[in-house]
Structure 1
Amino acid sequence: MIKFRLFLLALLAGGTAAAQPVAPLTARQGNVRLTVALGPDGRPTYAVAFGTKPVVNASRLGLALTDGRGFDGPMLLTGSETKDVDETWQPVLGEVKNIRNHYQQLTVHLRQAAAPGRRLDVVFRVFADGVGFRYEFPRQPRLQYFVVSDELTEFALPGDPKAFWIPGDYDTNEYPYTVSKLSEVDNSALVKSSTAIAVREVPDAQLVATPLMLKANDGLYVNLHEAAQVDYPAMQLHVDRATRRLTARLVPDAVGTKAYVHAPGHTPWRTIIVSDKAPDILASKLILNLNEPSKIGNTSWIKPMKFVGVWWEMQTGKTNWRYADSADTLNAAGQLIANGHHGATTANVKRYINFAAAHHIPGVLVEGWNEGWEDWFGNWKEPVFDFVTPYPDFNVAEIQQYAAGKGVQMIMHNETSGAATNYEQHLDTAYSFMNRYGYPAVKTGYVGRIIPRGEHHDGQWMSNHYVRVAETAAKHHVTVDMHESVRPTGLSRTYPNWVASEAGRGNEYNAFTPEGNAPEHETIMPFTRFMGGPMDYTPGIFKLKDYVAGHPERQVRTTLAKQLALYVVLYSPLQMAADLPENYTAHPDAFKFIEDVAVDWDDTRVLEAEPGEYISTARLEKGGERWFLGAITNANRRTATLNLSFLPRGRRYTATLYADAPGADWKTNPEAYRISTQTVSAGTTLRVPLAPGGGCAISLVPAK
């Protein structure tokens, strides 16, 4: 049912207008209430409340254009309309089988009070768990091609909430999280000390990235992000520490411009997710709902996958991506001289294929297989890779045939070295090569400074590049896992073959930095990085100490049981068993959970959660009857309370618990675990002790 309201708030005559006082416009869904007003100065504002509690106080809307005639006021309100939408759709891959898209939409029509009288629409969608809004530019004679110099969107927050944040960096999202009052945000020391990150550019000590997670003093949980970031730069937020007012900052291009826009068009959605219960934030589908439906017609070829790979051994220094020590290490015939440390050899890859086949792992990833690695590190150049030329010790055809004979699929790796222009020139060639040799999936990488020079990982040009990669991959029926890309904004709905991204601080930092990832890291990420989409976090490390020769200080800051729990807590339809085969062979009983756990789901229940402290999540496998449960904690010992009322009534299940053993501790005794079984039902509540930095993984199988 659609309800229209029209407010004639300006009398237009000869291109001029006289503003008249008007009542605020409102929209509501459940406890969430939106108010839109036009101030005496002609500037539009919005506010959001949850019940009786303010979420965002009256905050500015608008855009500045480079021609000086932007939508920054004064504006006239020429009309508005509302409509109600309630529909259900099914994701191709996801955490639940069905997603309800239920909102009230308020469209506000604005017009510049002064010449040239350009028109702007602001469209709000109010859900029971938050608000999304975007700017839309109708077709009009006085606005066609234009350039945005600044977005003026603000989020005026009441009080001084606790914030879970990383710096607003133009090129990376791989910082550790800081927890502080919003008024205490200062990223300068963290940016300076984060030397393990390849490229850093943070122009503002009070700039934070989204998704930004906040906990207010009145108990409200608020998440700020964006949805459907297409043909527009990423939004970051500048914190006014005195007023706690956040202002949008767009990542610029090589010449300092923010966004090139063509009317008719629109910006991405700005999103505010709110609840008085932390689990509701994790359960929200608001960001996915604000994205367009799939642009891929036939999606039957898009499959979830679990995989192992020639990767962690390189991160820990056991082998290397390079075939030779340098590009100048040549023999008399001008050929590279092998250094003996190359990991992507035919024999080594077969070893991983054998392990995958023996343990029912569908895929094997191989990094460092193609020529060019010697000529890349530290160099800002192109071309580096052509994506089809293997090193002499990597036989593509032989490996493909061997894997096929074992029922295993190979996953391609395309490191672009940040040279996106070079990759675009080779896209069809690279994906045709994958088709020829039976690679159904590719992991891409963008380590280093971007070419075109001066562009940033999170700018408009690169945001469009990632979409072009997903579109080209779809034409070749290839799924994509993008690393060092812009953080996701729900585009996995529109491009379901874009199955995962990195765009965050993954498990790999435990290999190449002494500080690694703090025990609370994985209890923050679902409230931040994962709000926009799945992450290839690479869980499953079993050897948690002494895995980097010469660096005894490097240690994974979790227990082994927590590594298992991450397969459930951290959602991705592409999950890696990231450790070495020999480390899994040492713990075959624990590896059984990785073999069994699903990666695609029909239902998800967040049983308990508090950002930075603990999360317990249960998921029902796609098309099956088994449930899997993961519970994790930060550095504090605690007891997880797991109410199994989500199980079907009248059925009994065999629960296999992979838990921290007595005395387990991420720092002193991380590999201590115990496995037990018991019969449970919907009336059961499990109370499981979690060690410091610990966790528990549970499989729930219908009892025979």
Structure 2
Amino acid sequence: MKSFMLTIAVLLLVSNPFNAQELKSPNGLLAMQFLLESDGTPTYKLSYKNKVVIKQSRLGLELKNDKKSLLNDFIVSNTETVTFDETWQPVWGEVKTIRNYYNELAVTLTQNETDRIVVIRFRMFNEGLGFRYEFPTQKNLVYFVIKEEKTQFAMTGNHTAFWIPGDYDSQEYDYTKSKLSEISGEFDEAVTDNASQEQFSKTGVQTALMMKTSEGLYINLHEAALINYACMHLNLDDENMVFESWLTPDANGDKGYIQAPSNSPWRTIIVSDDAREILASKMTLNLNDPCTIEDTSWIKPIKYIGVWWEMITGKSSWAYTDELPAVKLGITDFSKVVPNGKHAANTTHVKEYIDFASKHGFDAVLVEGWNEGWEDWFGKSKDYVFDFVTPYPDFDVEAIHTYAQSKGVKMIMHHETSGSVRNYERHMDKAYQFMNDHGYDAVKSGYVGNILPRGEHHYSQWIVNHYQYAVEKAADYKIMVNAHEAIRPTGISRTYPNLIGNESARGTEFQAFGGSKPNHVTVLPFTRLIGGPMDYTPGIFEMDISNFSPNNNSHVNSTIANQLALYVTMYSPLQMAADLPEHYEQFMDAFQFIKDVAIDWDNSIYLEAEPGDYLTVARKEKGASNWFVGNVNGNETRTSKITFDFLEKGKTYMATMYADAKDAHYKTNPQAYIIKTKKVTSKSKLSQISVPGGGFAISIVEIK
């Protein structure tokens, strides 16, 4: 179902090269002014409700080994304006339909002396602005190398920001809340160890960057449709409060190799005086191309469990043996080594997970550590590390396939690359065909450690292209992809909806590596989730990890009620019940919510929101009348007050609430919760206390 309106106006402005152009949002609340400075430097300014949000900011690109960069000495040779309005249906998502409604201004710039042409295309939505650089086919600009993109975002003041360090390889940080002027002073403390990381500046931060002004305005900076280009970070001039784009370099230090015709990703600015509107925005998706997969019937949301948390916490092992100093695939004979007795991916144990999934209605089971090579997979700069098809002696691929089929459960493949992307591409067709042959229609890929080829970064252009190649190749085999440690999403799941999930942020696994801040999950929806869903792997019920993994003293900084709420607040069509089955057996009444909660939605309504403090979301199950509500709370006890006016009028529903007990606390009493039921209608109201690191979850079923 699609409808659209398209109008075009063309203006020739050669006679007036400094002529300012204005573009407004369809509702008129946002306004952008484009103009050339006296030296021909392109600039823009953004206002919201007649107040400046982004001060006059420069645009352009610095080129390598070129006498003249694409920075100045331009004239405006043409402009085009467009109004576009359509409605489209995502394959999966937070809502059944999405409106794509914007006004567009395309400014064609011609550079004096070189006659090079650059188009800067602006799209203004009701919630924000997107713009990109376009390089049309031309004689004087064909191949060029980007030394740096010089896009600026000039702030109007010393805003409060929720940020993580700018890093070429990792997004797995806790968020820091500070004034912009305080970033440099808090930078070192914000950096925590990771498998691979490289920061570039003490004032460098990553997108999506969430900010709040002293006047209560919310601003989000990010990018959309990152294709064949390096990932953008932001570097702050903290004297003038101006962010400038900072692209991820390749092994040579170059920021991008471009061949025209081509274009950059969209640079996005989402603005509102209501935090809920930031979360509800679909602008990032709308700036991506429509779905290119003709038949999407094989792409299905998944609720799964997995052989994973027990290895993350140290209870079990990915490796089959402890007696080998090194492994060479095709040479090492694992049938002749002594097993370590801790290898979790064995046939008997995996069948236990399959039984649990079948009994409780889960779609699939993920198994990590099933394939040869885990003995020396990490930190060795090893090219031929895995072949993705050879199982350990104790993992019977055929038997697992047959058993899972008999139980009505799918299996999820795991491909850890150890950062060796050339090796993964070398084996990719064979690995995907192996999945087809054995009934795996989804893969969790991983890129832990430094990238090979050596010197490349996780977010450089060449590696960004690799991630895209993997998704497109997977589509050829009708395989869904859940990429971990890859580039943060930028809405590409609209074009390739088989990209059903990403990690690309500090997920639940870090609760086993020393813990995350209790308000972490109140920030992620404003930052990481702006670009697409996250495989956050929630559902942890045993918070004291030493109770089952004695050598690990980490603590999960969350209550059980908070963990339940994450299935609603952390949107994803791929949701894992991440804890061990035996821990769910201890709290089956709370586990019921995980079994019941939907993973695909007709509608989503953000009821309350404040980054870093709290979030309450209501979602309607796709194709059903059921609703689910989730609330996650930050560092302080808070009373949530909501109404149920999202329910259909005239109908009565049974609401089952899973909430923090009065004495619950994420640190001292995380497993204290209450369950209560109550009939509700669209006129009902709720006042509910959430403790630090806590929250509540509600399932709402129509009484027929």
Structure 2 residue aligned with 1:322, among 319, 324, 328? Answer: 319
Aligned-residue offset at 1:116: 1.5
Residues of 1 paired with 2:17 and 2:131: CA distance?
25
Residues of 1 paired with 2:259 and 2:324: CA distance?
45
Cα–Cα, structure 1 residues 279 and 288, in superposed 2: closer, same or farther, change >3 Å? Answer: same
Identity of aligned residues (%): 51
The answer to whether the aligner puts 1:423 opposite 2:424 as a matched pair is: yes
Amino acid at match of 2:137: R
Cα–Cα, structure 1 residues 55 and 192, in superposed 2: closer, same or farther, change >3 Å? Answer: closer
Residues of 1 paired with 2:449 and 2:501: CA distance?
20
CA offsets, 1:265-313, max 9 Å, x none?
Answer: 1000000000000000000000000000111110000000000000000
Aligned-residue offset at 1:635: 1.6
Residues of 2 paired with 1:56 and 1:311: CA distance?
45
The answer to whether the aligner puts 1:645 opposite 2:645 as a matched pair is: yes
Matching of residues 11-160 of structure 1 within 5 Å = 21-30=18-27, 31-66=29-64, 67-113=66-112, 115-160=113-158
Structure 1 residue aligned with 2:277, among 275, 280, 287? Answer: 280
Q: TM-score scaled by structure 1?
A: 0.96
Amino acid at match of 2:198: E
Residues of 2 paired with 1:191 and 1:118: CA distance?
45
Aligned-residue offset at 1:9: 2.9
Q: Aligned residue for 1:220?
A: 217
Amino acid at match of 1:616: T
The answer to whether the aligner puts 1:237 opposite 2:242 as a matched pair is: no
Aligned-residue offset at 1:24: 3.7
Residues of 2 paired with 1:310 and 1:120: CA distance?
51
RMSD: 1.5
Any conservation in 1 of the 2:636–2:692 contact (CA below 8 Å)?
yes
Q: Aligned residue for 2:297?
A: 300
Matching of residues 423-502 of structure 1 within 5 Å = 423-502=424-503
Amino acid at match of 2:579: D
Residues of 2 paired with 1:493 and 1:42: CA distance?
37
3-state SS, counterpart of residue 350 of structure 1: helix
Aligned-residue offset at 1:552: 6.7
Q: Aligned residue for 2:199?
A: 202
Any conservation in 2 of the 1:183–1:240 contact (CA below 8 Å)?
no
Aligned-residue offset at 1:149: 1.0
Aligned-residue offset at 1:335: 2.9
CA offsets, 1:558-616, max 9 Å, x none?
Answer: 10000000000001100000000000000010000000101111100000000000000
The answer to whether the aligner puts 1:263 opposite 2:264 as a matched pair is: no
Q: Aligned residue for 2:592?
A: 592
Q: Does 185-194 or 256-265 show the bigger shift?
A: 185-194
Any conservation in 1 of the 2:313–2:552 contact (CA below 8 Å)?
no
Q: Aligned residue for 2:655?
A: 655
Aligned-residue offset at 1:191: 6.8
Matching of residues 182-201 of structure 1 within 5 Å = 182-186=180-184, 189-190=187-188, 194-195=192-193, 197-201=194-198
3-state SS, counterpart of residue 2 of structure 1: strand
Aligned-residue offset at 1:512: 1.7
Matching of residues 162-201 of structure 1 within 5 Å = 162-186=160-184, 189-190=187-188, 194-195=192-193, 197-201=194-198
Any conservation in 2 of the 1:222–1:272 contact (CA below 8 Å)?
yes
Q: Aligned residue for 1:14?
A: none
Any conservation in 1 of the 2:17–2:75 contact (CA below 8 Å)?
no
3-state SS, counterpart of residue 492 of structure 1: helix
Any conservation in 2 of the 1:191–1:202 contact (CA below 8 Å)?
no
CA offsets, 1:108-163, max 9 Å, x none?
Answer: 010112x2210000000000000000000111111111111110100001011100
Amino acid at match of 1:182: L
Structure 2: give runs of 5+ residues left out of the alignment.
Answer: 1-5
Any conservation in 2 of the 1:167–1:191 contact (CA below 8 Å)?
no
CA offsets, 1:200-222, max 9 Å, x none?
Answer: 10121111000000001111100
Aligned-residue offset at 1:551: 5.3
Any conservation in 1 of the 2:501–2:533 contact (CA below 8 Å)?
yes
3-state SS, counterpart of residue 364 of structure 1: strand
Structure 1: give runs of 5+ residues left out of the alignment.
Answer: 11-18
Amino acid at match of 1:254: A
CA offsets, 1:57-102, max 9 Å, x none?
Answer: 1100101111132210021111211010010001101100000000
3-state SS, counterpart of residue 579 of structure 1: coil
Aligned-residue offset at 1:236: 0.2
Q: Aligned residue for 1:15?
A: none
Any conservation in 1 of the 2:18–2:35 contact (CA below 8 Å)?
no
Aligned-residue offset at 1:450: 0.6
The answer to whether the aligner puts 1:6 opposite 2:6 as a matched pair is: no
Amino acid at match of 2:578: A
Cα–Cα, structure 1 residues 35 and 337, in superposed 2: closer, same or farther, change >3 Å? Answer: same
3-state SS, counterpart of residue 440 of structure 1: strand
Any conservation in 2 of the 1:35–1:47 contact (CA below 8 Å)?
yes
Q: Aligned residue for 1:313?
A: 310
Amino acid at match of 1:512: F
Residues of 1 paired with 2:296 and 2:671: CA distance?
41
Cα–Cα, structure 1 residues 244 and 332, in superposed 2: closer, same or farther, change >3 Å? Answer: closer
3-state SS, counterpart of residue 176 of structure 1: coil
Amino acid at match of 1:502: E
Q: Aligned residue for 1:386?
A: 387
Aligned-residue offset at 1:692: 1.4
Cα–Cα, structure 1 residues 329 and 127, in superposed 2: closer, same or farther, change >3 Å? Answer: closer
3-state SS, counterpart of residue 521 of structure 2: helix
Any conservation in 1 of the 2:541–2:579 contact (CA below 8 Å)?
yes
Residues of 1 paired with 2:76 and 2:513: CA distance?
55
3-state SS, counterpart of residue 493 of structure 2: coil
The answer to whether the aligner puts 1:289 opposite 2:289 as a matched pair is: no
Matching of residues 539-688 of structure 1 within 5 Å = 539-547=538-546, 549-550=549-550, 553-688=553-688
Residues of 1 paired with 2:186 and 2:465: CA distance?
30
3-state SS, counterpart of residue 11 of structure 2: coil
Q: Aligned residue for 1:529?
A: 528
Amino acid at match of 1:219: G
Cα–Cα, structure 1 residues 607 and 232, in superposed 2: closer, same or farther, change >3 Å? Answer: same
Cα–Cα, structure 1 residues 329 and 160, in superposed 2: closer, same or farther, change >3 Å? Answer: closer
Q: Does 458-467 or 539-548 show the bigger shift?
A: 539-548
Any conservation in 1 of the 2:302–2:364 contact (CA below 8 Å)?
yes
Residues of 1 paired with 2:136 and 2:18: CA distance?
25
Residues of 1 paired with 2:364 and 2:606: CA distance?
29
Any conservation in 2 of the 1:167–1:187 contact (CA below 8 Å)?
no
3-state SS, counterpart of residue 443 of structure 2: strand
Cα–Cα, structure 1 residues 20 and 626, in superposed 2: closer, same or farther, change >3 Å? Answer: closer
3-state SS, counterpart of residue 70 of structure 1: coil
Cα–Cα, structure 1 residues 459 and 302, in superposed 2: closer, same or farther, change >3 Å? Answer: same
Residues of 2 paired with 1:26 and 1:475: CA distance?
41
Any conservation in 1 of the 2:13–2:19 contact (CA below 8 Å)?
no
Cα–Cα, structure 1 residues 108 and 531, in superposed 2: closer, same or farther, change >3 Å? Answer: same
